[in-house]
Amino acid sequence: MLYDISPALTTGMPVWPGDTPYQSSPNWVLEGGCPVNVACLTLSPHSGAHADAPLHYQAEGAPIGAVALTPYLGPCRVVHCLAPGRLLTLAQLQAALALAGSGPLPQRVLLRMYSRFPHHTWDPHFPGIDPAVIDWLGEQGMLLIGVDTASLDPADSKDMHAHLAVARQGMAILENLVLDDVPPGDYELIALPLKLMSTDASPVRAVLRSLA
Ligand SMILES: Nc1ccccc1C(=O)C[C@H](N)C(=O)O
Ligand SMILES: [Zn+2]
Ligand SMILES: [Zn+2]
């Protein structure tokens, strides 16, 4: 069984306030003398399901095309931590983890916090992650944290504490995943970023494959 956990990229989809709206316009149109359709895309690298690069939150950080791919491929645990409040705390995560699977914790974790992903509206009040959660996950050897919200830090954050904790721990980040229909448990994650050599993030097509 394959779960597609990527929101659709469409004109009019909600984007971070002030960020570039997603747009696709025709550059060539298949008609008369032209044998093909070719579009022109305008989008933020944080459109839809995406991987943040260190460059997003560190001046000297790597662009997304230069990061290791290992975090984006492999065993992963989906954890349900619905409606945690302003910040998901370590106690909340640990309680949720106890219900999400048995056996050793995989090196990737995806946190579901929405009961329904906001496909058509911008949610200014999405929950962030307490940096203590990130540090604890890093201590467990985590390679990647994924969330179904627009960011690891609340929308009004200026200090980006959760992102900086990720930087400290050397972890990778996925955001805007749609986990509405994914039961808690273990899966194989497949969500590779594009090899964009100058950008602070990349869209991904994120999927989860059931383990045999
Ligand atoms: N586009 C933005 C403009 C300004 C501030 C944040 C964003 C983000 O996209 C946040 C994000 N997805 C993040 O990586 O946390
Ligand atoms: Zn982002
Ligand atoms: Zn981010």
Q: Give residue-wise pLDDT tens across range 130-180.
A: 999 999 999 999 999 999 999 999 999 999 999 999 999 999 999 999 999
For residue 84, the cross-strand partners are none
Give the helix/strand (H/E) hosting 49: none
Cα–Cα distance for residue pair 101/144, rounded to 1 Å: 17
Cα–Cα distance for residue pair 87/154, rounded to 1 Å: 8
The answer to whether the CB of 175 is under 6 A from ligand 1 is yes
CA–centroid distance, 120 to ligand 3, in Å, is 20
The answer to whether the CB of 44 is under 6 A from ligand 1 is yes
User: Is 50 part of any known ligand binding site?
Assistant: yes
For residue 14, give the 3-state DSSP assignment.
coil
The tens digit of pLDDT for each residue in 69-100 reads 999 999 999 999 999 999 999 999 999 999 98
For 133, phi then psi, to 5°, come to: -65, -45
The answer to whether the CB of 108 is under 6 A from ligand 1 is no
The tens digit of pLDDT for each residue in 32-44 reads 999 999 999 999 9
User: Is 60 part of any known ligand binding site?
Assistant: no
CA end-to-end span of the chain, whole Å? Answer: 9
User: Which of 19, 52, 55, 157 is the pocket-test mutation for ligand 1 (most atoms within 8 Å of CB)?
Assistant: 19
Tokens of 25: 């316009």
- Domains along the chain with CATH numbers: 2-210 (3.50.30.50)
Taking the CA of 18 as reference, the closest ligand is: 1
pLDDT at 102 over 90: no
The secondary structure of residue 7, as a DSSP letter, is -
| pTM, entire model | 0.97
- ipTM of predicted complex: 0.93
What average pLDDT does this structure show over 188-198? 98
Q: Whose CA is nearest to atom 10 of ligand 1?
A: 151
